[in-house]
Structure 1
């Protein structure tokens, strides 16, 4: 089956990254620069290439975009409400909210779309990812900022957030690719080959880095409270999207890239954001690790049930 032949190799590479770190093949000194290289160079090259080569008029679906964004927004609001019924400290509530809805679009969503749907699906997913990433980062920062005990200057933090969004490499690459596609600007052959080489690094390296970041010890320590965030992120959130797509009678081939993005596990950047904005960074690590492992199963379910319908 295509689902198994796609998902099993992807998460086999994630497990390989986990083993490689434990065996010393990917030491801590290697992880940070490798992560920066993938985040700032390889993934933007992959997204730019896939969007620029696609027909924006053909690949863009405004209904799919609006449902995808609305589903993510609903998850944020739901997690916000749930968090306020707990007795957790503010830092954990803010981290819980972002871990419940902030998906790993670049390192998991884009590779899954690429390997399962091919170039056309990758182009659709990349266009959606640009818009979704803006909303995710904005709402995650708002959640953390609102529940941050250490926040001193709200205005300054808002300016910093806006600046980070403007300089986000994935957002920039998606926007640039959209402009190239929209105005049908041809790319020189030399540039296309350069992007082919550089973007080829993104899927395997990002999966290895996800595996290297997994922490079973932190997962066990926080498993009870973290399962709520995991359930919202990889079960409830894609279910909301799927129900809305079905009600609106959107074709499966049109919405599957959006569903793949909605079903992503918690983004690795959730840890960085929690640490920088006085959240619960240990909770973030547990949510990232747990949701990544469980998503291997949920992706197979989603792609089997929904993908076969397309």
Structure 2
């Protein structure tokens, strides 16, 4: 547990520092959206390419991760359908609770994997990102279409956005590079390495700067249930699936970390664009990120 806490304190410390800097308006309110965009499009793809390109991941790992990730998504989706039969939320509320229960913050996960599990763990986590991001985006878009129904969802632009997602592009390119065993020329490696070093701290600062604590006024039963599903139940279900499949060691740690993360900051954008409850979504994002400071070490300590 002590090792986990030591690894996670810097992660959440940077998030809280980002929130503090945003509150004191330093270096300026216009800086943070640009920094997030810069990190997302410029820093993360080279980092994923570099880490995965240097990694030696067994072919079987891709199938194991895909199987558990799909089972995780199917389990949470089924539970949410059952929960909706009991709660009878509006479509807008349900879609936000669903996003909160199933999506994950890639910035926090990549940083935590790098600090806790080293380059091998970070590489395996990146494989999980490459599989999970398109799957979860498609599921969330489908839920919006069914539950909110504000006209037909334009599937082709959504698929294009998923395929061109920088995290997916970097992960897939890195996985192919690593599989082929090409390696990096020293000049290229010296170019990619500093970009990789910049990505995680700046990404965490932007996560903190994006938190909206005022949105916690909307915290209610939907927030509680969404957070319980995401931060507690999903890691437990994932541990059970991994045990059933005989997965242990580093792979188990990566899967539990993937399951225990707070929901994605980008869920707010999707809620706003497709007719979800955006204020509730902002509260779920901010609240889960704060709760994860306490809950993530406990879940990782108990289940790995």
The residue aligned with 1:121 is 121
**2:181 matches 1:180:** no
**2:282 matches 1:285:** yes
Once the two structures are overlaid, the 10-residue window that deviates more, 16-25 or 72-81, is 72-81
Query: How far apart are residue 296 of structure 1 and its match?
Result: 1.2
**2:83 matches 1:82:** yes
**TM-score (structure 2 length as normaliser):** 0.94
Where in structure 1 are there 5+ consecutive unaligned residues? none
| Rounded Cα–Cα distance in structure 1 between residues aligned with 2:244 and 2:16 | 37
The residue aligned with 1:41 is 42
| Rounded Cα–Cα distance in structure 2 between residues aligned with 1:237 and 1:198 | 33
The residue aligned with 1:267 is 264
**8 A Cα contact 2:218 2:279, kept in partner:** no
The residue aligned with 2:58 is 57
| Rounded Cα–Cα distance in structure 2 between residues aligned with 1:284 and 1:11 | 20
Query: CA deviation digits over 1:167-220, x for unaligned, max 9?
Result: 111111111111111111222222211111112111111111111122222113
**8 A Cα contact 2:236 2:303, kept in partner:** no
The residue aligned with 1:132 is 132
Query: How far apart are residue 125 of structure 1 and its match?
Result: 0.8
Count of equivalent residues: 303
Correspondence list, 1:207-246, <5 A: 207-246=204-243
Correspondence list, 1:102-181, <5 A: 102-104=103-105, 106-151=106-151, 153-154=152-153, 157-181=154-178
Question: Once superposed, which parts of structure 1, at least 4 consecutive aligned residues long, lie more than 6 Å away?
Answer: none
Query: CA deviation digits over 1:147-180, x for unaligned, max 9?
Result: 22422x33xx111111111111111111111111
Query: How far apart are residue 221 of structure 1 and its match?
Result: 2.5
**8 A Cα contact 1:98 1:143, kept in partner:** no
Q: RMSD of aligned C-alpha atoms? A: 1.7
**TM-score (structure 1 length as normaliser):** 0.92
| Rounded Cα–Cα distance in structure 2 between residues aligned with 1:212 and 1:283 | 18
**8 A Cα contact 1:76 1:98, kept in partner:** no
Q: Secondary structure at the match of 1:60?
A: helix
| Rounded Cα–Cα distance in structure 2 between residues aligned with 1:28 and 1:212 | 9
**8 A Cα contact 1:91 1:149, kept in partner:** no
The residue aligned with 2:296 is 299
| Rounded Cα–Cα distance in structure 1 between residues aligned with 2:53 and 2:85 | 43
| Rounded Cα–Cα distance in structure 1 between residues aligned with 2:81 and 2:37 | 31
